[in-house]
Amino acid sequence: MSDSNHLTAGHQVDQHHLAEENEKYFTFNTVAMALAFITMTELIIVYLPIHGTIVFTVLTALSIIKFAAVCWWFMHLKWDKALLTMLFCLGLLLAGGTVIALYFLFQPDPNGAPTL
C-alpha cells in the first residue's frame, strides 16, 4: 500500500513547476491590469483641457511604456535568451530609424516648393 502523504521526486518537481507557472500567470494578470490602467489614463488625458503639445508628449510616453511592457512580458522577452532580445531590439531600432527618416524626408518644403 502506498501512503497518500508520500511525495515522489517527480511530484515535487511538478509542484515547483506549478508554482512557477502560477507566478507567471499572476505576473501576466498584473501587467494586464497595469496596461488597462494606463489606457484609462490615456483616455482621461485626451479630454482634459491641456495644451496639445503636452497631451501629445504624455500620450507618446505612455504608449512607449505600454509597448515595452507588452514586448517584455507577453512576447516572453523576459524569459528569452539575451541574444534574441538584443536582435529584437536591433530590429526595432532599425524600424524606428526608418520611420523617423521617412518622416523627415517627406516634410513639406518651407519655401513652398512641391514635394515628391
Question: Which pLDDT band holds residue 54 (cuts at 50, 70, 90)?
Answer: very high
Indicate if the alpha-carbon torsion angle 45, 46, 48, 51 is positive or negative.
Answer: positive
Residues 6 or more apart whose CB falls under 8 angstroms from that of 71 comprise 77, 88
Q: Which of 48, 89, 40, 50 is nearest to 67 (CA)?
A: 89
Q: Identify the three-state secondary structure at position 59.
A: helix
Rg from Cα positions in the chain: 24
pTM listed for this prediction: 0.62
* Cell numbers at 7, concatenated: 511525495
5 — pLDDT class (breaks 50, 70, 90): low
Residue, of 116 and 19, whose pLDDT is higher = 19
